[in-house]
Structure 1
Amino acid sequence: MKSIAALQDVVTPWSDGLEPSDAELDTIEREMPLIEARVELLDAQITVLDRTPSALDERRIRRARRKVLAARRDLTNQVAAAVGMAGGAA
């Protein structure tokens, strides 16, 4: 039986600890409000998957959507300010 070996280099270079870099951790920290808002929206949507949404459920989903949009706007403005672009998303 022949063994199969890769003939090409690995696409992603192997890291010693496979730990995220400081820059990656900073990016995750900066994006955390948006990540949390998306999780909240997903949670609200999952809640009503198997039943008809009540008025309270609909308000919760709308509030979560607005929170996602606000977090996206804030993140876009932060990135634009960091890059030095004039203006911003809002």
Structure 2
Amino acid sequence: MKSIVALQDAVTPWSDGLEPLDAELDAIEWELPLILAEVDLLDAEITVLDRTPSEVDERRIRRARRKVLAARRDLTNQAVAAAGMAGGAA
């Protein structure tokens, strides 16, 4: 019986550079409120995929959309403030 062996190196060889950088982790942490708001919106939308949305479902989706918009507004204002520019998104 012949053994099957890969003739090439692995597509992604293991190296120390595969871990996320501190700057990448900071960016994820900075955007976490938006990420969580988008997850809430997605969850609300998935809930009504296979049925007609009730009034409670519609309120939940509207609330989740407002939460996403507020998180985007806050991140935009923080980015503008960090860049030292005058004015903001809201």
Q: How many residues align?
A: 80
Matched, 1:47 2:47: yes
Which consecutive unaligned segments of at least 5 residues does structure 2 have? 1-6
| Distance in structure 1 (CA, Å) of the matches to 2:40 and 2:70 | 13
How do 1:1-90 and structure 2 match up within 5 A? Answer: 16-90=16-90
| Distance in structure 2 (CA, Å) of the matches to 1:26 and 1:82 | 14
Question: Normalising to structure 2: TM-score of the pair?
Answer: 0.82
The structure whose Rg is larger is 2
Structure 1's 15 and 73: CA in aligned 2 closer, same or farther, altered over 3 A? farther
| Distance in structure 2 (CA, Å) of the matches to 1:15 and 1:84 | 38
Question: Normalising to structure 1: TM-score of the pair?
Answer: 0.82
Percent identity between matched residues is: 80
1:15 Cα deviation (Å)?
5.2
Task: Flag as ranges the 4+ runs of structure 1 deviating above 6 A.
Answer: none
